[in-house]
Amino acid sequence: MDIPYTYQVRRDTGLTNGKIGIWLFLASEVMLFGALFASYILIRTGSPSWPRGDTILDVPMATFNTIVLIGSSVTMVMAWASLMRRQFGTFRLYMGATVLLGGVFLVVKYFEYSHHLHLGEYPSTNNFLAVYYTLTGLHMLHVIGGMVVNAYFWGPGAKLYKTNPVWFTNRVEHSGLFWHFVDLVWIFLFPTLYLL
Amino acid sequence: MTSDHAATSDHAAHDPAEIDKHVRVYITVFVALMALTIITVAVSYLDLSTPIAVTVALFIATVKGALVACYFMHLISEKKVIYAVLALTAVFFIALLALPALTHNNGYWIP
């Protein structure tokens, strides 16, 4: 039995089930990160002193990563637009670039973490570092998850395009929505952790 | 089964000319996001008081987030069901963020 409404829209919602599913998942993700941001506010306002992020963290490195992640959001949406134009080759280029930029983000993050760990700055060192590692660590896991899904659609998952291009385009759109959400979270993490 | 579905995808109605228009918007949004990122970093080097710095940084981040959500995630032209889901999420999200402020006496960002 086929899964219903994968590429055909329901008349009652005007959407495919996958589209509603990814938005419901993103709603749960908003609450997950919201809980952590609320904890951050509580810990910070309850602390007798709190360091400015730029006295501990590497702002130029994080700025570079912000540009990388925004760039990857653009390549992601261009990958989807390429499929809408039925240009599979162009899709592969943009999707490959998206995965690559995700990899660049992780490499920069690796150097950032290594630097702090080398200095003996662990999550247990103080509240600031605990918040920093928790929020950026969870975000990094999301980047890895998004990269795995995007790499799948770039590689073996792309076989679906030959048999059902509309369904494949929808799948790429849904993985794109997740990727943009990951970018959106970073847009808030960057100033609140690194600059304030 | 055919009575309650239409044989199209969420965006199948878009023609190539419309997609080209979308692509131009994506590039414009990308430039705006880059500019706002530079402004965010530049403002952090100004000697602003903490409440003003927080307000400015969060305002810019909100504008950037709105650009990503509206244009890259296509929320500017989405179906009512999605808006309903997000409205409910927004209510709970605001309540969640308000809890620390309501239960803490020190005041926002002031040690």
Kindly state whether residue B21 falls inside one of the protein's structural domains. Answer: yes
Residues of the domain holding B14: 2-77
Q: What is the DSSP string of B39-66?
A: HHHHHHTS---HHHHHHHHHHHHHHHHH
Considering its fold, how many domains does chain B have in total?
Answer: 1
Residue B58 inside a domain? The answer is: yes
pLDDT, tens only, A92-144:
999 999 999 999 999 999 999 999 999 999 999 999 999 999 999 999 999 99
In a domain, residue B11? The reply is yes
Q: How far apart are CA B93 and CA B77, in angstroms?
A: 23
> Is the pLDDT reported for residue A149 higher than 70?
yes
In a 13 Å sphere around the CA of A189, the CA atoms on its Cβ side amount to 25
Residues of chain B with C-beta less than 8 angstroms from the C-beta of A38:
96-97, 99-100
From CA B111, how far away is CA A51, in angstroms rounded?
A: 11
Please tell me which residue of chain A has the smallest CA distance to B83.
A23
* CA–CA gap between residue B94 and residue A32 (Å, rounded): 13
Strand boundaries in chain B, DSSP class E: 5-6
The CB density around residue B27, as the number of other CB atoms within 10 Å, is 12
Which pLDDT score, from 0 to 100, does residue A162 have? 96
A71: closest CA of chain B, how far (Å): 7
How would you class A95 by CB atoms within 10 Å of its CB: exposed for 0-12, middle for 13-18, buried for 19 or more?
A: buried
Q: Is the pLDDT of residue B100 over 90?
A: no
How much of chain B is in helix, strand and coil states, percent to nearest 5? 75, 0, 25
**Average of per-residue pLDDT values in chain B:** 84
Domains of chain A from N-terminus onward: 17-195 (1.20.120.80)
Q: What is the ipTM of this complex?
A: 0.93
Q: Is B96 on the interface with A (CB under 8 A)?
A: yes
**pLDDT for B6 beyond 50:** no
Select from B37, B58, B73 the residue whose CB has the most chain A CBs within 10 Å, as the one to mutate to test that interface.
B73
What local confidence, expressed as pLDDT, does residue B110 receive? Answer: 46
| Whole-Å CA distances, B38 to A32, A63, A75, A76, B63 | 28, 8, 20, 22, 14
For B27-60, the pLDDT digits (tens) are: 999 999 999 999 999 999 998 998 899 999 999 9
Write out the H or E segment, with its range, that includes residue A10: strand A9-10
Residues of B in contact with A177 (CB under 8 A): 73
H/E segment holding residue A9: strand A9-10
pLDDT tens per residue, range A64-88? 999 999 999 999 999 999 999 999 9
Give percent of chain A with pLDDT exceeding 70: 99
For residue B5, give every residue at least 6 positions away whose Cβ sits within 8 Å of its Cβ, in sequence order, or none: A4, A5, A8, A9, A10, A11
pLDDT of residue B5: 44
Sign of CA dihedral B51, A134, B30, B18: negative
Q: Is residue B88 part of a domain?
A: no
What mean pLDDT is predicted for residues B64-72?
97
Dihedral sign from CA coordinates of A9, A10, A15, A21: negative
Q: Decide if A23 contacts B82 (C-beta within 8 A).
A: yes
Neighbours of B87 (CB within 10 A): 9
Q: Are residues A99 and A150 in contact, defined by beta-carbon separation less than 8 angstroms?
A: yes
CA distance A69 to A72: 5
Q: Which one of A16, A176, A191 has the shortest CB-CB distance to B9?
A: A16
Q: Which residues of chain A make contact with B50, given a CB cutoff of 8 A?
A: 196
Cα–Cα distances (Å) from B73 to A26, A168, B49, B69, B101, in that order, read 12, 17, 34, 5, 31
User: Taking the alpha carbons of A98, B23, A172, B92 in that order, is the dihedral positive or negative?
Assistant: positive
Specify the residue for token string 């990814």: A22
